[in-house]
């Protein structure tokens, strides 16, 4: 609901200091705390709209269901950066620019090698190497919109090169040179495996990229906008956003969601009990340990995440000729039991399937290892992050909320 702070998530004001004590000076002593900023509208954006009650996501004016399965990712980038669909010439031009900007800065490779030697998480490697993009900036001091658009092209073009290079280094293989004749998504798949990807896999992953390219004021986008709001630079904002996306409550869920599916399958095979029985037991066990079932629940959606539908359909098409065709049916069966059991064990919380559940399925289907799930999310979301940074810089409004002090007042320094 559009208001400055929702009732949910607020806490009562803390008691004022006792009479006779030094009265603290506070700007708004009676303001309530919007914990986690739930329900707070912090800015206006033309990039995407999330309606959590109706399960609607609009990206750049298009419902996600009509945009994601059909568009080329490059055209979605143009839409976000320029607020309109590109002409054929503009589309060709942007594809050419992106393809020509894929090489990573020289400084990135030794850094990725050092990270691989220590087996760091791929998101740490992406964060560290993304920072080297400042080195390939021909005009680092230029704050103009056109310079930022050029930075956005270079960053989005280079992210897949960094992620793919790191994945190969971790497997003891040499990174591959990007191929200019392939589209953005197909080239990413090529740089991982060395094989030209099938049209099926490319379409599935492109649908994924389009689906998750932007999503309102999520934590990583907010992080990017806070950094941009200080008039800092686009690369700094991207590096911060990658850090925010790494967390399991945001972008880190699909790996554990897939692990859960395979563990439930393994248990069913070992125990002879049905998949449904094992799935129900899994949810009960998870909640008993105080944990969360990954791929379910959402801060904004209180119904099924519309992105789960789009990705579920893309996964269904992908799995038609997959070597593990039964996986799709198993995943659907597990999903139903999980939602049902969460509804019984957490009444009133409205915990439904979120984007990450079918993300796991789709990314696994195109052959990505789980370690690459969150970095791949970052490659797609980089499109939204860059557009938000440019929008934030245009708005030029410092984001700086306040906090309520709950520490002591009368301590004496000895
Ligand atoms: N499994 C079990 N219980 C859950 C789950 C879950 N997946 N999600 C929420 N709950 C419970 C909480 O324990 C809490 O219960 P309580 O009131 O008894 O304490 C209640 O539902 C509300 O949870 P909150 O954390 O307050 O809800 P919030 O809106 O802050 O959390 C979040 C949203 C972080 C996504 C949460 O649902 C979650 O942890 N899900 C699992 C992780 C996940 O899938 N993350 C990906 C999200 S999509 C994305 O970021 C791209």
pLDDT digits (tens, 9 = 90+) for 223-271: 999 999 999 999 999 999 999 999 988 888 888 999 999 999 999 999 9
At 49, is the secondary structure helix, strand, or coil? strand
pLDDT classification of 321: cutoffs 50, 70, 90: confident
pTM of the model: 0.90
pLDDT classification of 10: cutoffs 50, 70, 90: very low
Mean pLDDT of 75-96: 98
Instruction: For residue 9, give the ligand 1 atom closest to its CA.
Output: 26
- Our mutation pick for probing the ligand 1 site, out of 220, 292, 300, 358, counting the most ligand atoms within 8 A of Cβ, is 292
Mean pLDDT of 80-98: 98
Mean pLDDT of 39-50: 96
What ranges in 194-253 are assigned the alpha helix state H?
Answer: 199-212, 219-229, 234-245
Q: How far is the CA of 251 from the centre of ligand 1 (A)?
A: 13
Over residues 151-192, the pLDDT tens digits come to: 999 999 999 999 999 999 999 999 999 999 999 999 999 999
Look at residue 323 and tell me whether its pLDDT is greater than 50: yes
Over residues 102-143, the pLDDT tens digits come to: 999 999 999 999 999 999 999 999 999 999 999 999 999 999
Q: How far is the CA of 62 from the centre of ligand 1 (A)?
A: 28
Predicted local distance difference test score (pLDDT) of residue 22: 52
Q: Side-chain half-sphere of 109: how many Cα atoms within 13 Å? A: 9
- Does 356 qualify as catalytic in the annotation? yes
- Does 82 qualify as catalytic in the annotation? no
Q: How far is the CA of 292 from the centre of ligand 1 (A)?
A: 7
Question: Residue 33's CB: how many other CB atoms inside 10 A?
Answer: 17
CA distance 409 to 23: 9
Look at residue 1 and tell me whether its pLDDT is greater than 50: no
The first and second tokens of residue 17, run together, are 């200091």
CB 374 within 8 A of CB 226: no
pLDDT classification of 77: cutoffs 50, 70, 90: very high
Mean pLDDT of the chain: 92
Q: Pick the catalytic residue: 215, 356, 364, 391?
A: 356
At 389, is the secondary structure helix, strand, or coil? helix
Predicted local distance difference test score (pLDDT) of residue 138: 94
Residues of 228-252 as b/e, b for ≥16 C-beta within 10 angstroms? bbeeebbbbbbbbbbbbbbeeebbb
**Chain mean position to CA 22:** 46
CA distance 182 to 175: 17
Mean pLDDT of 407-414: 94
CA distance 412 to 119: 47
Bridging pattern class, strands 48-51 and 62-63: unpaired
- Where does 77-191 show beta strands of DSSP type E? none
The binding-site residues of ligand 1, defined as CB within 6 angstroms of any ligand atom, are 36, 249-251, 253, 287, 292-299, 342, 346, 349, 351, 354-356
CA distance 349 to 287: 14
Ligand 1, atom 21, lies closest to the CA of: 349
Q: How far is the CA of 305 from the centre of ligand 1 (A)?
A: 13
CA distance 360 to 278: 19
Radius of gyration of the chain (CA): 23
């Amino acid at each position: 609901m559009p208001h400055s702070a929702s009732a949910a998530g607020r806490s009562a004001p803390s008691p004022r200091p006792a009479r006779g004590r030094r009265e603290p000076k506070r700007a708004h002593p009676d303001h309530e705390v919007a914990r986690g900023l739930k329900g707070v509208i912090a800015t206006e954006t033309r990039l995407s709209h999330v309606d959590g009650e109706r399960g609607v996501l609009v990206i750049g004016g298009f419902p996600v269901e009509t945009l994601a399965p059909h568009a080329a990712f490059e055209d979605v980038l143009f839409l976000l950066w320029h607020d309109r669909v590109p002409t054929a010439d503009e589309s060709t031009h942007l594809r050419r620019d992106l393809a020509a900007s894929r090489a990573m800065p020289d400084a990135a490779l030794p850094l990725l090698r050092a990270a691989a030697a220590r087996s760091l998480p791929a998101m740490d490697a992406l964060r560290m190497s993304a920072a080297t993009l400042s080195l390939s900036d021909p005009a680092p001091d230029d704050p103009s919109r056109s310079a930022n658009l050029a930075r956005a092209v270079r960053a989005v073009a280079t992210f897949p090169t960094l992620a793919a290079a790191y994945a190969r280094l971790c497997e003891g293989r040499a990174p591959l040179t990007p191929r200019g004749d392939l589209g953005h998504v197909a080239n990413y798949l090529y740089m991982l495996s060395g094989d030209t990807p099938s049209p099926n896999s490319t379409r599935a992953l492109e649908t994924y990229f389009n689906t998750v390219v932007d999503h309102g004021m999520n934590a990583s986008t907010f992080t990017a906008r806070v950094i941009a709001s200080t008039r800092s630079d686009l690369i700094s904002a991207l590096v911060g956003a990658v850090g925010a996306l790494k967390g399991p409550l945001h972008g880190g869920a699909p790996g554990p969601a897939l692990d859960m599916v395979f563990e439930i399958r393994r248990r069913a095979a070992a125990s002879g009990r049905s998949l449904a029985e094992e799935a129900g037991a899994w949810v009960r066990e998870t909640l008993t340990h105080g944990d969360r079932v990954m791929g379910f629940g959402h801060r904004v959606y209180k119904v099924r995440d519309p992105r789960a539908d789009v990705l579920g359909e893309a996964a269904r098409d992908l799995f038609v000729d997959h070597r593990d065709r039964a996986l799709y049916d198993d995943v659907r069966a597990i999903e139903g039991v999980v939602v049902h059991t969460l509804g019984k064990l957490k009444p009133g919380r409205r915990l439904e399937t979120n984007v990450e559940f079918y993300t796991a399925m789709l990314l696994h289907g195109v052959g990505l290892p789980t370690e690459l799930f969150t970095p791949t999310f970052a490659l797609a979301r980089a499109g939204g992050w860059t557009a938000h940074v440019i929008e934030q810089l245009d708005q030029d409004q410092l984001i700086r909320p306040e906090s309520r002090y709950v520490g002591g007042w009368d301590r004496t320094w000895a």
